[in-house]
């Protein structure tokens, strides 16, 4: 029996820390903590919130957390004291995503005002929980692991070991996954069977990496699938997601449906803006890491980027100067667009 191995990495950079879990050498999770994150919106934070409104038709109550979007509380879990204007203590159980607010668990009644009672666990504690006792690696190795994980998390197409491919595309309703045999040679049925097995294992890891949860539909390759074997494989592959995983049978159309819990905000929502382009904040933080990477002994670094990213990067410039000294300049250029940056040294 092969035992999977997880390794942990923690990258510290100006304005941002990135924690990475790898599974057998491949990125499995990427946790991003930014300086401007809202404390009351973080998973496992305990907050005194005010019930802003109750929508009986939706069986939901919407809670003011003080900052960020309203949280959502099922009315079925709320006793009679939970009426509009009342204060309650809640725990954040799932982050806000898209236009949907954070999900919460009701703890009980409270006295106002709205406030943070207990902050969420810090990034190191969250990271260590994925592999208790494992050493957390930092430095250049952690920076490389985080860069690789970030790049992989934003890809749609992912190669499989046997030559097949996996396509993962989230929609408003579900996450669609397509399995393609690709360049896998040999007998077509065996190639499809192998690709499906590899795809189920890879899909579990990649969904965790991307921060995707909810309904997932995997369109398997080929025909005549061994449903029970694939379901057993999925059960093992998704075991790391904990409680809340539900795996359905393979349909006669060759689709496996499953539901996984939402533990994290999708990385695309953190890193990208409208149109799938990196946000100015993402560009700025990447720029600062590029400056640090380029700042060899005695070198002066000049970075040129779009004005919006330059303005944000300037906020974190003192933190970078504390690490490498005042040996860099960030220059805005109105002709630069989105993620278009230039780094030079002298």
Which two three-digit tokens encode residue 101?
């607010």
- Max Cα distance, the chain (Å): 68
Q: Given 1.10.10.1100, 1.10.3720.10, 2.40.50.140, 3.40.50.620, which CATH number is that of 43-118?
A: 2.40.50.140
Residues lower than pLDDT 50 in the chain: 1
Under CATH, which number does the domain 272-345 receive? 3.40.1260.20
Preceding omega of 113 cis (within 30 degrees of 0): yes
| Cα three-residue angle 177-31-77, rounded to 5 degrees | 80
Residues 158, 209 contacting (CB under 8 angstroms):
no
What's the Cα-to-Cα distance from 273 to each of 66, 136, 212, 268, 338, rounded to whole Å? 24, 31, 17, 8, 10
Q: What pLDDT is recorded for position 78?
A: 62
Distance CA 281, CA 303 (A): 15
CB atoms within 10 A of CB 39: 14
Residues 195, 158 contacting (CB under 8 angstroms):
no
Which two three-digit tokens encode residue 194?
């192998």
Tell me, what DSSP letter sits at residue 272? B
Which of 211, 221, 216, 210 minimizes the C-alpha distance to 234?
A: 216
DSSP notation for 88-145: EEEEEEE--BTTBPPEEEEEEE--SS-EEEEPPPPHHHHHHTTSTTPPEE-HHHHHHH
Q: What pLDDT is recorded for position 59?
A: 85
Q: Given 3.40.1350, 3.30.420, 1.25.40, 3.40.720, which CATH number is that of 6-37+122-150?
A: 3.30.420
Q: Residue 339 burial by CB count (10 A; 0-12/13-18/19+): exposed, middle or buried?
A: middle
Residues 332, 306 contacting (CB under 8 angstroms):
yes
Which two three-digit tokens encode residue 210?
């991307």
Q: What pLDDT is recorded for position 212?
A: 96
Which two three-digit tokens encode residue 274?
């409208």
Which of 48, 131, 133 minimizes the C-alpha distance to 86?
A: 48
> Domain spans of the chain?
6-37+122-150, 43-118, 154-260, 272-345
Q: What pLDDT is recorded for position 279?
A: 95
Q: 71-104 burial, b for 16+ CB within 10 Å, e for fewer?
A: bbbeeeebeeebeeebbbbbbbebbbbeeebbbb
Q: Residue 261 burial by CB count (10 A; 0-12/13-18/19+): exposed, middle or buried?
A: middle
């Amino acid at each position: 029996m092969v035992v999977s191995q997880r390794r942990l990495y923690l990258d510290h950079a100006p304005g941002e820390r990135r924690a990475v879990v790898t599974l057998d050498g491949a990125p499995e999770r990427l946790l991003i903590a930014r300086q401007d994150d809202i404390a009351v919106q973080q998973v496992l934070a305990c907050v005194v919130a005010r019930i802003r409104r109750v929508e009986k038709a939706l069986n939901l109550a919407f809670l003011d957390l003080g900052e960020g979007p309203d949280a959502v509380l099922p009315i079925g879990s709320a006793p009679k004291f939970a009426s509009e204007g009342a204060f309650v203590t809640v725990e954040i159980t799932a982050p806000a995503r898209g236009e949907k607010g954070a999900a919460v668990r009701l703890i009980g009644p409270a006295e106002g005002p709205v406030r943070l009672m207990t902050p969420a666990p810090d990034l190191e504690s969250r990271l260590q929980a994925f592999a208790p006792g494992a050493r957390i690696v930092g430095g250049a190795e952690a920076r490389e692991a985080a860069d690789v994980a970030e790049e992989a998390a934003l890809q749609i197409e992912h190669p499989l070991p046997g030559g097949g491919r996996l396509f993962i595309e989230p929609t408003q309703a579900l996450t669609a996954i397509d399995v393609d045999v690709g360049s896998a040679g040999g007998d077509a049925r065996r190639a499809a069977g192998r690709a499906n097995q590899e795809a189920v294992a890879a899909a579990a890891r990649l969904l965790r990496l991307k921060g995707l949860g909810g309904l997932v539909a995997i369109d398997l390759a080929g025909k005549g699938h061994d449903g029970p074997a694939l379901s057993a494989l999925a059960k093992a592959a998704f075991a790391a997601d904990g409680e809340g995983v539900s795996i359905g049978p393979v349909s006669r159309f060759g689709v496996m449906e499953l539901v996984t819990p939402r533990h994290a905000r999708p990385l695309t929502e953190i890193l990208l803006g409208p149109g799938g382009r990196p946000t100015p904040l993402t560009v700025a933080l990447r720029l600062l890491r590029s400056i640090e990477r380029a700042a060899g002994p005695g070198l002066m670094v000049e970075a040129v980027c779009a004005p919006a990213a330059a303005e944000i990067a300037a906020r974190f410039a003192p933190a970078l100067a504390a690490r490498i000294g005042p040996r860099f300049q960030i220059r805005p250029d109105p002709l630069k667009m989105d993620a278009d940056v230039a780094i030079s040294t002298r």
